[in-house]
């Protein structure tokens, strides 16, 4: 391992004396992107280090080699709307790796023993009319949605926050939460709607609720949802169909290619199996145990670790990070010799009242033409949410058996995989609960004026890969700016 020795007055010394030294703690997408952005800003001489606790980079991005090719076992896609991330992928030379999902195989819900289309025209599963979701929620629950306007209106104090589940249950009924909102939001956050905050997960809804609720005005939730859906439709109508970005992208050879490219182009020295245990400051700059002295540091590890590392230097931020829970999950990837019986859909989302252990299946080879071309079929089963994390403790055979049993319930076919891979994601995704953004703002405020320290990671501004990568770039920009290092 590289060890830096202490040298007096690092920050006062002219940079010509020796190269700038910056450490990035954590080699997930946030950390690796931060290293890449640092290189662009600091130039070729800077000594950039990535300290990674495990023996590989990527964190929640992990590509596994199956007999007929690589497949992602963590994130497998990203939102096409994030042009900044598409540009980054192209800039590192991987534009030709980008793939789009099949357009004619939408995901579905499993309702009363059959697969149905996910209703269009909802706001993360929150409907504006009963008719739009009747097939999924049933006639009684659909009638209850429309009846909202016959009951007492709601009020909303601008700036307040509640859980999405609580809001939707109170206004539209429990069935809408369990059959619509939790499967859709849970697919992103591994957490039920009851444990997710409106402000952190559907900010556009919070914004309109603030507007409508000003001055104690009364209104109905379905009207707010309709307003947002109308705005979305108007925006879409103004965009030329040909100019609309694809909903999602994935990588032909998996996210590994991106991590490899970012690492290589960052020119960073990677310290594998190096968990940073503490950070501290003195006149020499920053001291990281067990690395030594550096001039600046970017913390890009998950929130609980970041909390521990911040406790002496930014106690308010440390407390904010400590309050962030993580949701664990498991992905079981299975390769089958034939696609027989696999539905012609990208996947299926399964709510808490579905008769399955799995919370979702991705029919990967139906979803992605580049995987279908390999022959046979590839399926990913996902288990576990914030409230039922015990799946990560189950053994491989039990998890594969659940996956095959559930697949049989959904498709009527008993299938046997040629090979499988079980990936446990301990603390996979931060829980964006009630009051979450306030805590994140507190953390930012506390760290903002600390010279040579910046934060990055999926706990800051959304769990998606593009948002997370953007935090790495922003952290690198902040460091370069405050240290006066921009190349």
Ligand X SMILES: Cc1cc2nc3c(=O)[nH]c(=O)nc-3n(C[C@H](O)[C@H](O)[C@H](O)COP(=O)(O)OP(=O)(O)OC[C@H]3O[C@@H](n4cnc5c(N)ncnc54)[C@H](O)[C@@H]3O)c2cc1C
Chain residues that interact with ligand X, rule: CB under 6 A: 25-31, 51-54, 59-61, 74-78, 275-276, 300-302, 305, 329, 331, 425, 428-429, 457-458, 463-465, 468
Task: Work out the number of other CB atoms within 10 angstroms of the CB of residue 235.
Answer: 9
How far apart are CB 25 and ligand X at their closest, in Å? 5
Q: How far apart are CA 99 and CA 16, in angstroms?
A: 45
- Contact yes or no for 295/10 (Cβ under 8 A): yes
How far apart are CB 465 and ligand X at their closest, in Å? 4
CB-based contacts of 113, cutoff 8 Å, min separation 6: none
Beta-sheet pairing, 47-51 with 269-271 = parallel
- Contact yes or no for 45/218 (Cβ under 8 A): no
Q: How far apart are CA 455 and CA 474, in angstroms?
A: 9
Beta-sheet pairing, 21-25 with 47-51 = parallel
Q: How far apart are CA 114 and CA 21, in angstroms?
A: 58
How far apart are CB 434 and ligand X at their closest, in Å? 20
Helix, strand, coil % in the chain, rounded to nearest 5: 40, 20, 40
How far apart are CB 302 and ligand X at their closest, in Å? 5
Q: Which is nearer to ligand X, 162 or 308 (CB)?
A: 308
Q: How far apart are CA 436 and CA 444, in angstroms?
A: 13
How far apart are CB 214 and ligand X at their closest, in Å? 34
Q: Which is nearer to ligand X, 125 or 187 (CB)?
A: 187
Q: Which is nearer to ligand X, 224 or 474 (CB)?
A: 474
Q: Which is nearer to ligand X, 141 or 400 (CB)?
A: 400
Q: How far apart are CA 118 and CA 135, in angstroms?
A: 9
Q: Which is nearer to ligand X, 174 or 281 (CB)?
A: 281
How far apart are CB 330 and ligand X at their closest, in Å? 8
Q: Which is nearer to ligand X, 222 or 259 (CB)?
A: 259
Q: Which spans in 73-218 are helix H?
A: 83-91, 134-137, 139-146, 164-172, 174-176, 182-189, 198-201, 203-213
How far apart are CB 263 and ligand X at their closest, in Å? 12
- Contact yes or no for 410/287 (Cβ under 8 A): no
Tokens 């939001």, residue? 185
Q: Which is nearer to ligand X, 26 or 197 (CB)?
A: 26
Sign of CA dihedral 402, 406, 409, 414: negative
Q: What is the DSSP string of 333-346?
A: EEEES--TT--SSS
Q: Which is nearer to ligand X, 225 or 475 (CB)?
A: 475
Q: Which is nearer to ligand X, 75 or 208 (CB)?
A: 75
Q: Which is nearer to ligand X, 134 or 185 (CB)?
A: 185
How far apart are CB 203 and ligand X at their closest, in Å? 17
Give helix 315-322 / helix 303-310 axis angle, nearest 10°: 160
How far apart are CB 412 and ligand X at their closest, in Å? 27
How far apart are CB 172 and ligand X at their closest, in Å? 28
Query: HSE on the CB side for 484, CA within 13 Å?
Result: 4
SS3 4: coil
């Amino acid at each position: 391992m590289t060890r830096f020795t202490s040298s007096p007055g690092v920050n006062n010394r002219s940079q010509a004396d020796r190269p700038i030294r910056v450490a990035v703690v954590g080699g997930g997408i946030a950390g690796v992107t931060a290293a890449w952005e640092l290189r662009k800003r600091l130039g070729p001489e800077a000594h950039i280090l990535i300290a990674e606790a495990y023996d590989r980079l990527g964190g929640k991005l992990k590509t596994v080699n199956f007999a007929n090719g690589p497949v992602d076992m963590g994130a497998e896609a990203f939102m096409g709307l994030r042009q900044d991330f598409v540009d980054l992928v192209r800039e590192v030379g991987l534009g030709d790796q980008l793939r789009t999902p099949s357009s004619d195989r939408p995901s579905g819900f499993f309702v009363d023993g059959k697969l149905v289309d996910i209703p269009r025209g909802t706001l993360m599963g929150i409907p504006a009319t009963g008719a739009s979701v009747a097939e999924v929620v049933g006639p009684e629950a659909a009638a209850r949605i429309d009846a909202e306007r016959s009951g007492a209106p709601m009020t909303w104090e601008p700036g307040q926050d509640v859980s999405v589940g609580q809001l939707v249950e109170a206004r539209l009924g429990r069935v809408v939460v369990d059959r619509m909102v939790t499967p859709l939001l849970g697919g992103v956050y591994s957490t039920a709607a009851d444990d997710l905050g409106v402000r952190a997960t559907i900010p556009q809804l919070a914004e309109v609720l603030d507007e409508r609720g000003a001055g104690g005005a009364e209104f109905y939730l379905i009207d707010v949802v309709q307003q947002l859906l109308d705005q979305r439709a108007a925006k879409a109508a103004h965009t030329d169909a040909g100019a609309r970005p694809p909903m999602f992208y994935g990588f032909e050879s998996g996210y590994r290619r991106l991590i490899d490219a970012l690492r290589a182009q960052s020119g960073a020295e990677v310290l594998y199996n190096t968990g940073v245990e503490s950070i501290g400051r003195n006149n020499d700059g920053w001291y990281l145990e067990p690395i030594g002295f550096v001039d600046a540091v970017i913390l890009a590890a998950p929130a609980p670790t970041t909390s521990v590392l911040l406790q002496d230097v930014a106690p308010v931020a440390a407390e904010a990070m400590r309050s962030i829970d993580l949701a664990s999950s498991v992905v079981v990837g299975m390769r089958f010799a034939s696609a027989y019986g696999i539905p012609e859909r990208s996947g299926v989302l399964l709510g808490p009242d579905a008769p399955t252990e799995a919370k979702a299946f991705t029919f990967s080879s139906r979803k992605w033409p580049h995987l279908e071309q390999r022959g046979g079929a590839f399926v990913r089963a996902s288990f576990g949410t914030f409230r039922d994390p015990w799946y990560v403790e189950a053994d491989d055979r039990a998890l594969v058996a659940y996956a095959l049993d559930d697949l049989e319930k959904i498709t009527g076919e008993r299938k046997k995989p040629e090979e499988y891979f079980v990936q446990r994601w301990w603390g996979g995704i931060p829980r964006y609960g009630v009051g979450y953004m306030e805590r994140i703002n507190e953390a930012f405020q506390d760290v903002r004026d600390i010279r040579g320290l910046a934060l990055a990671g999926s706990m800051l501004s959304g769990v998606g890969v593009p948002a997370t990568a953007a935090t790495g770039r922003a952290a690198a920009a902040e460091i370069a700016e405050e240290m006066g290092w921009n190349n």
